[in-house]
Structure 1
Amino acid sequence: MATNQYSVAEANPPRFHHDDVDSKEHPVTTDQVEASLRGKEAPEASASPRLLYDSHGKVIEFDAAMERRLVRKIDFCVVPTVALLYLFCFIDRANIGNARLAGMEKDLHLHGYQYNLLLTVFYISYVIFEIPSNILCKYFGPAIWLPLISFGFGLMSMCTAFVTNFGNAAAVRFLLGVFEAGVLPGIAYYLSRWYRKSELSFRLALYLFTAPCAGAFGGLLASGILKIKSIGKVHSWQNIFLIEGIITCGIALIAFFTMPGHPATTRVLTPFERELAVARVKAENVGSTQVVDKLDRKKLMRGVLNPNTLAVSWMFLFVNITVQGIAFFTPTIVATIYPKASTIRKQLYTVPPYVVGAVINLIVPFISVKTNKRLPLFIGSSCLCIIGYIIFLATSNPHARYGAVFLAVSGAFPFGPLCNGQVAINILSDTGRSTGIGWNVMIGNIGGLISTWSYLPTDAPNFHIGNGLNLAGNSTILITSICLLLWLQWDNRRRDRVDNTGQLEGLTEQEIEDLDWKHPSWRWYL
């Protein structure tokens, strides 16, 4: 069986659905796999392992044991480093909440809404540089760009330890946003090069799992650091920024040596594993002949103007009002729930909700892997948040409100991997994913910008404005996710009814690739 092509660049490719596999294909040996992936004629078929092809020679499904070994190896090579980078990205962003409790406002003579302004300045640069940073990530390569910007935000965290007034602090927070802007979309884009669509959400969860961990670990770390009286002239809250910044810079330097580039060239995989890693990603991309393609304006726009991307980014805006509000204001909210507790005890009270949230943040995306569905989980997660904020608004009982923090954290944090996964798997080209994920995170972090004004000092201790805003936002997510689910199902049925014979006649290979989600054989993932 000749298997020298695994693309659908022909003028009239087969109608292909992501769940379809032709069970009648013949099993082939590992030798055949190597031969076929190199474009050679394969020897006669024998026993397993096997590799399945569609009628045009496009790789559809690989031997399960072979894939498991490869995916396990990729997991160990790729996930730990990016998880550590994102852990300290989130810590270096949110540690201002811990520093506030430790006397930062008093020492910098902040008054009125100046604390909220510091949070706002960060998000202005954070939003502006999302897409530019992700385009640079594609241009330079994630293995270079991500460690570089991580070193940058670690350095900005260290600089925060030496600010003396509001103006200094605002300038440093702006630069912190510049460097951190590309981390979340950059890592999501990076992982999309390595994993099949059904695998991606859980791998995104493995690194976004560190966001609630950052809340828990950040509180523990801050309480431990505050026991250090001084490091030279640096003391109390300044120690938080200095020590955590130094750790971040160290991890970024290590990442330069531990992050593999992309499947086709990395030395951490054997030659055959590289071929297999590339082919299995290609197998899911209708009309695409490359895993890592060149920058292309049409593909850049396809990533942004994808209907799924636009709807998910709208929901991600409201998600981030909740998530970033939790990150910045949980210490403040806990302080109003337990006003008589010591500063260190208040820091420790922030830890248990994040621990529970971290566990839920793995369980929900794991369910999405098993079901290959994300939008139904959007619905369930938003309901958890809605219940939590109803409790906040309905009672002043401190124990009930503390329990509501658990519900809000548990419902909000799974949206990170779910939203970015839903965007990434519904964009075919590597270039399109770079802008699509960047757009999603950029719009999402407009929500982060809004969140900086959601919990105002004049609204304490009940915070009716902030809790009401989050209740309305999660209700919007619930309605939008139901509408998107119904629309994608309808559009898949519409595409199934359309006869695509001859639609691609006369188009070049590049023009077919540029179609992306408009390719007649494409079907949406739910």
Structure 2
Amino acid sequence: MDSKPSPPHSVEEKDLQQDLYNPDVDTSGIDEKKLLRKVDMWLVPWFALLYTLSFLDRTSIGNAKLYGLEDDLKITDRQYLISLTVFFIAYGLFEVPSNIFLKRLRPSVWFAIIMTLWGLIMTLQGVVHNFGELVGLRWLLGMLEAGLYPGMAYHLSCWYKRSELGIRTAIFTSATTLSGAFGGLLASAISNMNSVGGRPAWAWIFILEGLATIVVGIASFWVVQDFPDSPNVKFLTEAERTFIIRRLQGDDQFSAAGEKLRMANVMASLRDWKTWLNLVQLMGCDMPLYAFSLFLPTIIDQLGFRATAANLLTVPVYAFAAIVTCSVSLYADKYGRRGYCNIVMLSVGGAGYIILIASRNAALSYFAVFIATCGIFPVVPNTVTWVANTYEGSYKRGVSLAMAISMGNLNGAVSSNVYRAVDRPWYRLGHRLVLMYICIGIISNAAFLILLKRENARRDRGERDEVIGPDTLEDNGNGRFATVEDAKRAKGDNWSGYRYIL
């Protein structure tokens, strides 16, 4: 007896079946919470370690300065500022191509190569003899470090839902606070090695931190995981990997199962108005971040504390910043109010800098430093997460993230020159310029929030709806597609059903 034929499927049902990732794999037995904890343990702690070393390596020159770097190399304060500046220029220029290479290559290979090489450069900084050698190595350090932070931010966005990304980004970005605290403690300890092997204390700061980076860089080849659509991800079963990708696709990340590199993907980022406003947003928080991190030991030192005490007094500041950063990210993830959080925290940070400008008391200035951290450290990961949440299409997201972070880091070149020796001990010019950037951050975040709200409202009213059906239907100007899935793939975050997180 012949079996009864199955009923015909609608076009939409057939298309959904065709687009189901690994349709033959059964994921019904997967415990989602247990799987997320597993992914967290493999990705986040190691990324936090990598970024701790990255930020430690780029900012340790501030600690080295306290132990005689300028005097031994016979460089002026202006030359010291130039050595800081060239790092950020190189860092900013190489971020976009690095993210494209990351997607084309395996993250485990890319991160291992760049970390090992910059660890070598870091070590060589400990044996420089003059200004020219220092500047050359700082350029190379910036070029190689450029691939890490935007790469890790993009990599995590390919593993988590948009509502889960903030706290993960905050945890590994909080490595900036850990590196600041640990950098002060480490520099204080290494200072006891002064004259060991004929090298001064500042040289040993570079050498030992560089060697640690080399070791971790080599280990990254085996520890760093690739993208979830890659069969090289060995810590997951095929069912777990399939589950991860399907849940991302259910979160409107339609490209989670893989996407080919096409110039159109890159151009889509360049044509999107959001990308250009994101550049200004990252300016508003990255310049204050680097100014604060590079010069906090110097600022405290000029308030009347000696080098070792100045380094140690940075520790509670960074510990406080880490707590605030993770708390803000948890709130933003839960309630989806990233823009509101940025505006509030930037305003608090601005108040801290107003106190720093007005203060002539060391204790009050030290207190104001804690307030200032609230407008710096939580805003950076929250903005990066907001940018990642705003784009669909893996290459478009990667390029947009890299461009925004690149612009932010180029403004690190500005931060390298605002705390001049001539302005000591209160550094009013530096504080005023940082406050100006915080105001830029408030304005750009408010503008981005308002524009995204308006766009979501237009989509709610149906003004962006595409025509779905045969060619005989009239195009309404928003595009005509055979199925909804075709519209999703073609338009990404411009699809009428996509909603922006505010």
- Report the TM-score, using the length of structure 2 for normalisation: 0.90
Q: Is 1:302–1:516's contact at 8 Å kept on the other side of the alignment?
A: no
Q: Paired residue for 2:249, among 267, 282, 287?
A: 282
Q: Distance in 2 between matches of 1:223 and 1:334?
A: 14
Q: Paired residue for 1:195, among 149, 160, 164?
A: 160
| CA-to-aligned-CA distance 1:307-328 (integer Å, 9 cap, x gap) | 3332232021121110000111
After superposition, where does 1:151-300 map in structure 2 within 5 Å?
151-264=116-229, 265=231, 266-285=233-252, 288=254, 290-300=256-266
CA drift of 1:232 comes to 2.3
For 1:310, the equivalent position in structure 2 comes to 276
For 2:474, the equivalent position in structure 1 comes to none
CA drift of 1:519 comes to 1.7
For 1:519, the equivalent position in structure 2 comes to 495
Q: Is 1:9–1:289's contact at 8 Å kept on the other side of the alignment?
A: no
Q: Distance in 1 between matches of 2:13 and 2:80?
A: 55
Displaced runs of 4 or more, over 4 A: 4-10, 506-512
Q: Is 1:324–1:448's contact at 8 Å kept on the other side of the alignment?
A: yes
CA drift of 1:5 comes to 12
For 1:422, the equivalent position in structure 2 comes to 386
1:505 matches 2:491: no
For 2:324, the equivalent position in structure 1 comes to 360
| CA-to-aligned-CA distance 1:49-70 (integer Å, 9 cap, x gap) | 98xxxxxxxxxxxx9x822111
After superposition, where does 1:314-333 map in structure 2 within 5 Å?
314-333=280-299
Q: Is 2:467–2:481's contact at 8 Å kept on the other side of the alignment?
A: no
Q: Is 1:304–1:439's contact at 8 Å kept on the other side of the alignment?
A: no
- Report the TM-score, using the length of structure 1 for normalisation: 0.86
Counterpart residue identity of residue 258, structure 2: V
CA drift of 1:416 comes to 2.0
Counterpart residue identity of residue 448, structure 1: G
Q: Distance in 2 between matches of 1:75 and 1:386?
A: 34
Q: Distance in 2 between matches of 1:6 and 1:187?
A: 39
Structure-2 change in CA distance of 1:210 and 1:6 (3 Å):
farther
Structure-2 change in CA distance of 1:70 and 1:120 (3 Å):
same
SS of 2:31 mapped into structure 1: helix
For 1:406, the equivalent position in structure 2 comes to 370
Q: Is 2:62–2:295's contact at 8 Å kept on the other side of the alignment?
A: yes
Q: How many equivalent pairs are there?
A: 480
For 2:36, the equivalent position in structure 1 comes to 71
CA drift of 1:524 comes to 1.2
CA drift of 1:506 comes to 4.6
| CA-to-aligned-CA distance 1:357-403 (integer Å, 9 cap, x gap) | 11111111111111122101101110121111110111211111111
Q: Paired residue for 1:99, among 61, 64, 76?
A: 64
Q: Is 2:128–2:134's contact at 8 Å kept on the other side of the alignment?
A: yes
Structure-2 change in CA distance of 1:217 and 1:500 (3 Å):
same
CA drift of 1:447 comes to 1.6
Q: Distance in 1 between matches of 2:23 and 2:166?
A: 31
CA drift of 1:512 comes to 5.3
SS of 1:523 mapped into structure 2: coil
Q: Paired residue for 1:451, among 406, 412, 415?
A: 415
Structure-2 change in CA distance of 1:70 and 1:303 (3 Å):
farther
For 2:3, the equivalent position in structure 1 comes to none
Q: Paired residue for 2:112, among 137, 141, 147?
A: 147
Q: Distance in 2 between matches of 1:406 and 1:317?
A: 21
CA drift of 1:154 comes to 1.1
CA drift of 1:173 comes to 0.3
Q: Distance in 1 between matches of 2:490 and 2:199?
A: 55
Q: Distance in 1 between matches of 2:348 and 2:176?
A: 18
Q: Is 1:420–1:437's contact at 8 Å kept on the other side of the alignment?
A: yes
| CA-to-aligned-CA distance 1:109-143 (integer Å, 9 cap, x gap) | 01141111000111111111110111111111222
Q: Is 2:150–2:401's contact at 8 Å kept on the other side of the alignment?
A: yes
Structure-2 change in CA distance of 1:381 and 1:353 (3 Å):
same
CA drift of 1:490 comes to 1.2
Structure-2 change in CA distance of 1:227 and 1:112 (3 Å):
closer
CA drift of 1:234 comes to 2.5
CA drift of 1:7 comes to 9.5
Q: Is 2:85–2:416's contact at 8 Å kept on the other side of the alignment?
A: yes
Q: Is 1:146–1:187's contact at 8 Å kept on the other side of the alignment?
A: no
| CA-to-aligned-CA distance 1:317-353 (integer Å, 9 cap, x gap) | 1211100001111111111112xx3321121112111
SS of 1:455 mapped into structure 2: coil
SS of 1:161 mapped into structure 2: helix
Counterpart residue identity of residue 482, structure 1: A
CA drift of 1:292 comes to 2.7
Q: What is the RMSD computed on CA atoms of the aligned residues? A: 2.6
Q: Paired residue for 2:23, among 22, 36, 39?
A: 39
Q: Distance in 1 between matches of 2:124 and 2:148?
A: 19
Q: Distance in 1 between matches of 2:124 and 2:267?
A: 37
SS of 2:500 mapped into structure 1: coil
Q: Is 1:298–1:514's contact at 8 Å kept on the other side of the alignment?
A: no
Q: Is 1:91–1:218's contact at 8 Å kept on the other side of the alignment?
A: yes
Q: Paired residue for 2:102, among 137, 146, 150?
A: 137
Q: Distance in 1 between matches of 2:411 and 2:13?
A: 40
Q: Distance in 1 between matches of 2:288 and 2:121?
A: 25
CA drift of 1:9 comes to 10
Q: Distance in 1 between matches of 2:49 and 2:11?
A: 36
Q: Distance in 1 between matches of 2:11 and 2:191?
A: 58
For 2:399, the equivalent position in structure 1 comes to 435
- Unaligned 5+ residue runs, structure 2? 1-5, 469-477
Q: Is 2:280–2:440's contact at 8 Å kept on the other side of the alignment?
A: no
Q: Distance in 1 between matches of 2:376 and 2:313?
A: 19
Structure-2 change in CA distance of 1:231 and 1:255 (3 Å):
farther
